[in-house]
């Protein structure tokens, strides 16, 4: 049995799915947040910030106080109406090959898990992603529950959930330096960097 691990943003998708989701929920609010968060955005783009603080800033300003159930409904609409348009065409044949071989397939993403769950469920894919913190009333706080699922944290989450020793082969797909720790789980000839471009 084989295991296939896919990063989502930039690997499967042509654009950042998290920002696109925020944009789909409230465009005017998204513009306001981008303007007010410009110093953090510049720091992130300059690679001085790993992105966790910036992500929590966006989550807090956009969703703090939201019922998790409401956010889940918005994710359902996003995954059915908008997300399909940003999936790279060359991803689909690769996915079908893995499915045809009976491989276990995981999406491993830094994006909030709740945001990608409907899409993964529709395509019968397993998902590991960043988790949102909620309060006692089931409302989103804007903070992450645990670490941002990025870089080495992807590997930690994978190892915590999957017994890698059960698999004959591990395939890994990514597109940025933060995916390299996950790619290292696969043998050299089964690591794919920017594979669908």
pLDDT of residue 48: 61
Q: Which residues of the chain have pLDDT under 70?
A: 44-50
pLDDT tens digit sequence for 34-85: 888 887 777 766 666 667 888 898 899 999 999 999 999 999 999 999 999 9
pLDDT of residue 43: 73
Return the number of other C-beta atoms located less than 10 Å from residue 15's C-beta.
12
pTM above 0.75, yes or no: yes
pLDDT of residue 184: 97
SS3 content of the chain, % helix, strand, coil (to 5): 50, 20, 30
pLDDT of residue 84: 96
Alpha-carbon span 45 to 41, nearest angstrom: 6
The number of residues making up the chain comes to 197
pLDDT of residue 29: 84
Instruction: Please give the domain boundaries of the chain with CATH numbers for all domains.
Output: 2-193 (3.40.50.1000)
Alpha-carbon span 15 to 100, nearest angstrom: 27
């Amino acid at each position: 049995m084989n295991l296939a691990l896919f990063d989502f943003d930039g690997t499967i998708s042509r654009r950042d799915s998290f920002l696109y989701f925020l944009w789909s929920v409230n465009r005017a609010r998204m513009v306001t947040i981008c303007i007010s968060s410009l110093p953090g955005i510049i720091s992130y783009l300059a690679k001085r910030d790993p992105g966790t603080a910036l992500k929590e800033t966006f989550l807090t300003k956009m969703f703090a106080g939201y019922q998790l159930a409401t956010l889940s409904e918005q994710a359902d609409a996003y995954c059915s109406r908008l997300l399909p348009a940003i999936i790279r065409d060359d991803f689909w044949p690769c996915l079908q090959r893995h499915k045809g071989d009976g491989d276990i397939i995981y999406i491993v993403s830094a994006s909030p898990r709740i945001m990608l769950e409907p899409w993964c469920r529709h395509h019968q894919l397993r998902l590991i992603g960043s988790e949102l913190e909620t309060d006692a009333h089931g409302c989103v706080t804007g903070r992450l529950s645990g670490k941002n699922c990025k870089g080495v944290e992807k590997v930690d989450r994978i190892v915590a959930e999957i017994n890698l020793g059960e698999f004959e082969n591990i395939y890994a797909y990514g597109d940025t330096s933060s995916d390299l720790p996950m790619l290292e789980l696969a043998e050299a000839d089964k690591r794919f960097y920017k594979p669908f471009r």
